[in-house]
Structure 1
Amino acid sequence: MNQPYVIILANGLNGLGAVRSAADAGLRTYTLLTSQTDLSAYSRYSQYRFILPANPGVEDVRSVLNQLHRNEDGPGVLLACSDLAAELLGKLKTEGYSNHHLIVPSSETTEILNDKKLECRSMEEGGITLPKTYYELASDTPESFPLIIKPRTFREYAVLGAKNVIVNSQAEFEDFREDFRGKLDRFIAQEVIEGEDDNLWVCNVTFDLNRQLSACFVFNRLGTMPSHYGVTSLAISRENQALRDECAKIGEALNYAGPAMIEFKKDRNSGNYYYIETNPRLGMCNWFDTRCGINNILACTRIAYGNKVAFAPQKNNRLYWNFFGDLVARLEDRENLFAIAFRYIRLLRYRRVAALFYWKDPHPAFRYSCTSIRDIVSRVMRKLRGESG
C-alpha cells in the first residue's frame, strides 16, 4: 500500500506540534482545521489542508475522510488535538467507521473523560487518588478551602467565562452559588492541593490496542498561563517512574486505546501524587515530547499499522518555554520583575524547546508574534491601569 499518512484534526499549539511531529517522523500529513488562521495553517509541513465549519459535526468530518480514502486508496491514522475532535472521533468509532484507523478510546470512554463529574467518579471507583471532590454544588458542604471550580465539559467554559474559578472561603462559595443558581449541576469543585506550579506533572502517553502503555513522556510544569491553574507555559522533562506506573493503571481501568494527556499534582506536605485529569487526545506540548525523543504521533501510527513501538528513554532536563505566555502570566500574578528576570537567566543553562519557534518552520511563530504581542501588551497595560486607578 501507499506510504503511511496521518490525518490531524488540528487546533492551536496542539495541532501545530502534531503537524511538526508527523514531519519529524517522515509521515505525510493532512490537516483538518476549523479556521484559516489556525497556527497549523501557517506551517510549511501542513501542505494539504481542509477547512471544516467552525463547529463541525460528524458528517462534516466523514465527508472529508471519505474523500481522502478514495484519493489515497488506503487508510490513514486519525488524530485529535481538541476535546471536540476527540468527541467526533469517538462517535465515528462507535458507528463502526473503518475507512481510516481510529486509534482512539470508545465514545463511552471519551464521554466519561470529557465530563469531569463522570471522570472523577470513575477514577474514584478505580482506586485512583483524587483531591476531595464535590459533585453536587447546590447541596454539598466543603470541608476546606480554597476550592477550584471546574466546568463539567468544555461546552461549559462559556457559561463560567473561564476554564476554572478559585473560591477561597465559604462566603465566596455562597456568592458563586448565588451567581450560578440553576446552573450548579454544570460544575464540580475540588480541593486545591497545596503546592506551587512545580508540583504539577504531566504525562503525554499512548496506549496500544491491548490497552498497554506503549509510549510515555513525563514533564514537570514550572509555569502555567494563567498562573497556577492554566495550561503549560514553562516545563522541564524529568523521569518519574511512579507516574508511569499510575498511567499504566489508569489505562487499564479505562480500557483505553490511543493518545492521552494525564495530569497529576504532588502535595508539597505529604509528597503524595493526586490525579487531576485525563484529556482523551494529544497533549498541547506534544512537540516537546518529540524533541525529547518520544514521538506520540509516530507511536499512534505504528500501532495503527500493526508495528511495534520502541523508543529510547526520554531526554531529560530539557526545557519547554512559551516565553510571552509565561511572562504575561507572571506579571498578571504580580510576580516581581527582577525575580522573573533572575528565573529566566537561570533557565538559560538548559537546552530549550520553544512552544512556537522552530527554525525549520518559522512562519507560525512570526504570525503569532504579529497578532499576539500587541494583545499581550494591551492586556498588561489595562491590568496595570486598573491596579493603579
Structure 2
Amino acid sequence: MTKVEQIEKAFALAKERYASIGVDVDRAIQSLRQVAISVHCWQGDDVAGFEATDVALGSGLAVTGNYPGRARNADELRSDLQLAYSLIPGRHRLNLHALYGEFSGQVDRDEIDVTHFQGWIDWARSEEVKLDFNPSYFSHEKADDGFTLSHSDSGVRQFWIDHGIACRKIAAAMGGAQGTPCVNNFWVPDGYKDSPACRKAPRERLAASLDEIFDEVIDTDKLLDAVECKLFGIGSESYVVGSHEFYLGYAISRNKTLCLDAGHFHPTEVISDKISSVLMYVPELLLHVSRGVRWDSDHVVTFSDELQAIMQEIVRGQYLDRVHIGLDFFDASINRVAAWVIGTRNALKALLAALLEPTETLQRAEREGDYTTRLALMEEQKMMPLGAVWDQFCLMSDVPVGADWLQNVRQYESDVLSQRNDQSAVV
C-alpha cells in the first residue's frame, strides 16, 4: 500500500468516526479552506526591515539567535515566503510592516507612500496573496525615549501622526488593488520603565493623535483600522499608555477593529477568554497569535492548549467572519522559513480541531444543564483521529504530509540560505 493510499484509508476511517458523533468532516475541511492566516513578514529577517539606516531594533523588541540565512532585502524575503506558502495548506495573506518598503536611499517614516510598496503589491497580485499592513512605531531615533503618538513634544508627536496617516493611505491602496480590505494595525510601544507621576496625560495625547490619524474616512471595502493593546514591554514595565482598557474603550467608541495579541497580557490571562466579550462591542477582531514564555517573548506558535482554546472560541461563537487571524513571532535561533511553516500549520491544525468538534451536541448539553456529558465529550474529543483528517487536507492541498516539508526547507537552506552573508548589506 502506498503512502497516499494509507492516508486516504485512514481518512475514510476518520470520517466514519467523526460521523458517529455528528460531525461532517467534509464541511469542516471546506470551512478551513476559506480561512486565510495573515503570515507576518518580520519572522524572515528578525524585524530589521529595509530602511537605509543603522538604527537598531528597539522600543522593547528583541530577537535572539543567529541562525544563518536572514533575508536582507525584499527579493530574498519574498523568495523565503514563497517557499513557506508552498508548504502550508490553503491560501494565506501577508502582513507587512512599514519599514519593509523598497526605498532608494533614506526615506523617513513620515515620507513613505504607496510607491515604496508597489513591488509588494505587484508580487502579491502575481502570487495571489492578499496584504495586511502596520505602521512602524519602533526602531527609530524619534522613538528612542519610549514615546511616539503620546509624546509630550508636539513636533515628535506630529511626525508620528503623519506616519500613521501615510500608512493608512498605503494600506487603502493595497486594499483597493487586491479587492479586499487591508487590515492596518496600530501598535504603539509608548510607556514608562518606572512608575509614572501622571497616567492620564499620555493617554489623552494618544487618543487625540489617533483621532487625527483616523480623521479621514476611508471606505472599509479597502481599509480596516485596528488598534492593539499591551500590558507591558521591555522599558515600559510599569506603564504602557495603550493598555487593554484604553484600546477597548477606543475601539468601541470609534468603531475600530481591536487587536488582541496572545503575548500582551499577564501570564495568567488568555485571549481565548476575551474573544466573546469584546465581540459584543467591537465590529471585528484581529488576533496576533503568538506564544509567550514567561513574558511577551513571541515564540513560534505550537499546538498548545491556548492555541486550541482560541480557535475553539472562534468556531463555537461562529465568529469566523468577524475575526482576522494573524501570526506574530520571531525566532532567529532556528531556520526562519521553518518557523513560518511550523507556526502557520499549527494554527491551521488547531482551527481544524475546533471545526471537528460536535459543537451543537456540546452546547445542547450545556443548555440542558448536563455538564457531565459536556465534560465527557470534550475529553473524548481529544482522542479523535484529527491527524488523519489533517493529513488528507494537506494531501488535497498538494503540500507535504507530516514532517516531509522539512526536506524542502533543508534543501532550500543548502541551496539558498547558506549562500547569504548575514553581515553584508544587500540592496
* TM superposition score normalised by structure 2: 0.26
Larger Rg: 2
- Identify which of structures 1 and 2 has the higher relative contact order when contacts are C-alpha pairs closer than 8 Å and 6+ apart: 2
Larger fraction in helix:
2
Larger fraction in strand:
1
